[in-house]
A and B are shown apart, each in its own frame.
Chain A
Amino acid sequence: MSESPTMATIPGAAHEAGTDQGTTPVRPGRARRPRPIRYASWWWTLPAVLIIVTMHYVSVGVGGFFSFTNYKGFGSFKLVGLDNFVKVFTDPVARGAVGNTLLLALGFVVLVNLFGFGFALALNRQLKSRHFLRGLLFMPVVLSPLAVSFVWKFIFQYDGPLNGFLSALGLGDLQKAWLGDPATAIWTILLVLVWQHIGITMVIYLAGLANVPQELEEAASMDGAPLLKRFQHVVLPLMRGAVVIATTLSLIRGLSVFDQVLALTAGGPFNATETLATQVWRQTFVNSNFGYGSAIALVLTIVIAVLALAQMGLMRSREDHGK
């Protein structure tokens, strides 16, 4: 655990860790125990430790406690056992939010990594415009998710560009109020989410591809290895670290989607696009149900922790398998 997957798998980092081990003994000599730390003082870490412990550990603990109460944000409260959790799994809106969150996260991880990897491969070498295109494709990443979602909201309007495009193609039958139809609204959110994050995923994969020596690929291609085999046996094994980072980051991002929902549909129509994050906000800060909101947040926390760990474990075991 002390060694993150990032460090373990990306050669650049391994190199740095290597130089580090060259200058310090891995196991500081037990024999010379009283030797003082000469370089820094332990108490220099106190401000950070204090704020991290308060805001990440104590607050999560207290939040967990809230989720077993009927706290309204003010005044006194009492313990209500598992009532809040029973409500999460019986209330149709909350159940819908769980489903939507999982759908969005899964769709997001698959699509954004496919497109990101695709663009990274396309823009890795050779193309003359690659630097320019990388810069262009990365641009949406730096913009506010809320602001770009409003642009997409316009595109999905009934009299908006998407329907205009369809009718110009003679596909007028397909026109609909994309954001107003419970069947399509969730997919518009997925599309906007994927669209904005292709650039960052591409950059992660490009960093990974930079570790694949060109000579290795050339050698493989001279040996007559077809493109797909070359990819599978030469490129992919060297990209495991990038794959772990990109999929983990996108999974966490997908599970906590909020801005896009609020801008595009505000959770509607008929709660069809509520996610766990929007429900946490709505129940806690709009409806002032701090206890119930905390319970939803606890469910979200557990979902994120379980899925992220499961996925990292999966990637790790596959890696060991490969060796």
Chain B
Amino acid sequence: MLRYTRKTLVREIIVIAIALAMLIPFYFLIVMAFKPDSEVITTSPYAPAQAATAGAFAEAWGAEGNKSLAMGMLNSIIITGGSVVMLVAIGSITAYSISRMPGRPGRLLRILVLIAMILPFQLGMVPVYVAMRNLHLLGTYPGMIILYTGLFMPLAVFLYSGFAESIPRDYEEAANIDGASKFQSFVRVVFPLLGPATGTVAIMCGLIIWNDFFSPLIFLSGSNIPTLPVVVYSTVGELASRWNVIFAAVIISMIPILVYYLVAQKKFIQGFSGGLKS
């Protein structure tokens, strides 16, 4: 009954057609980005460029100041990278400690993490903004990294928790007998065993932080370290309807994450479904 029949083939063709239809926006994105200024308004958006040019890309990439895509990328890499390192370091040791904590304190901490994960951030953001302003952390790398570390710590601890609880205590006991201290046995034995969870945390939190627009719009507005989404936002704001340059900027901004996705596609999908399972 579940064999590949002619009906299955028909179904396959239909599904492929629907999937391709869903990806049409990317067709316009690419076609428009290669058009010269003269063709943007005058030619149909469906028609490929008659005199294809990379001029729009050169213009988008050459933008300076707060519209520099290269600078946005660098800022995004520093902020995302720093935050993920902190989330992995603190999240793993916290989830591990909670998983080994008996009785009521452990239960309380789990609830503390779970509620924090569900509480929306919009309300807390206003006081955090005021606090950061008073501490002169607005518009700085450390400020953004602290913000994201705090924001996604509940998620990181949650993602690590399921995994940490499933690690049998035998490994730590063996390390203990071999004379390892508690901290050594965490760093050398437990942390490597948490590898898959580290992957999930890095991919999930890293992706959310990389693409986040809400927080940098608020915490980095007017600063000289805008992240990629903020750069794209201000670029588009100034270009009005020069869609070729806008789309060139959009494509450039997508390249790092797309390359990463194409290289590690399985990890992404597993990361998301795996994270949801544990």
Contacts and interface: CB of A to CB of B under 8 A. Distances in A.
Interface in B238-278: 241, 243, 246-247, 250, 253-254, 257-258, 260-261, 265, 268-269, 272-274, 276-278
Contacts of B90: 47-48, 51
Given A12-B277, A154-B32, A51 B150 contact: yes
B15 A127 contact: yes
B226 interface: no
A176 B101 CA distance: 62
A37 B265 CA distance: 40
Range for the number of chain B residues in contact with chain A: 35 or more
Interface in B71-111: 90-91, 93-94, 96-98, 100-103, 105, 107, 109-111
A36 to B, nearest CB: 11
Majority-rule SS of B interface residues: helix
Contacts of A297: 122-123, 125-126
A4 B159 CA distance: 12
A144 B229 contact: yes
A37 B176 CA distance: 13
Contacts of A134: 269
A198 B22 contact: yes
A148 B269 CA distance: 20
Contacts of B131: 59
Given A40-B100, A146-B233, A281 B128 contact: no
Given A20-B166, A133-B19, A161-B46, A48 B157 contact: yes
A203 B150 contact: no
A155 interface: yes
Contacts of B179: none
A45 B119 contact: no
Interface stretch (A78-86, A89-97, A214-222): A214-222
Nearest to B158: A4
A66 B165 CA distance: 40
Contacts of A148: 25
B183 to A, nearest CB: 8
Given A40-B182, A142-B258, A258-B213, A55 B124 contact: yes
Contacts of A128: 4, 12
B130 interface: yes
A147 B122 contact: no
B93 A44 contact: yes
Contact of A73 (B94, B130, B170): B130
Contact of B253 (A37, A66, A138, A147): A147
A294 B123 contact: yes
Given A49-B112, A52-B154, A137-B19, A60 B124 contact: yes
B166 A52 contact: no
Contact of A55 (B23, B25, B150): B150
A10 B275 CA distance: 12
A300 B123 contact: yes
A146 B213 contact: yes
A282 B274 CA distance: 37
Interface in A194-222: 195, 198, 200, 203-204, 206-207, 214, 217-218, 221-222
Contact of A142 (B124, B154, B261): B261
Given A45-B98, A48-B157, A133-B15, A57 B116 contact: yes
A47 B146 CA distance: 12
B113 interface: yes
Interface residues of A, number: 111
Interface stretch (A118-126, A231-239, A314-322): A118-126
A243 to B, nearest CB: 12
A127 to B, nearest CB: 5
Contacts of B213: 144-146, 258-259, 262
Contacts of B101: 37, 40, 42, 45
Contacts of A49: 94, 109, 112
B224 interface: no
A307 to B, nearest CB: 11
B247 A154 contact: yes
B2 A218 contact: yes
B202 interface: no
A285 B246 contact: no
B122 A277 contact: yes
A4 B158 CA distance: 10
B124 A2 contact: no
Given A150-B232, A151-B247, A203-B273, 13 more contacts: A48-B94, A48-B157, A55-B128, A58-B127, A59-B123, A63-B126, A129-B15, A142-B261, A147-B232, A154-B247, A164-B44, A206-B273, A285-B218
30 contacts: A7-B162, A12-B278, A13-B278, A16-B165, A37-B100, A37-B102, A39-B169, A39-B182, A39-B185, A42-B101, A49-B94, A52-B116, A62-B124, A63-B126, A125-B2, A128-B12, A129-B16, A137-B22, A138-B265, A142-B260, A145-B213, A152-B25, A154-B28, A154-B247, A161-B28, A207-B276, A245-B276, A285-B129, A298-B123, A301-B122
Interface of A: 1-2, 4, 6-7, 10, 12-13, 16-17, 19-20, 23-24, 28, 37-42, 44-45, 47-49, 51-60, 62-64, 66-67, 73, 119, 122-123, 125-129, 133-139, 141-148, 150-152, 154-155, 157, 159-161, 164, 195, 198, 200, 203-204, 206-207, 214, 217-218, 221-222, 245, 252, 255-256, 258-259, 262-263, 276-277, 280-281, 284-285, 290, 293-294, 297-298, 300-301, 304-305, 308
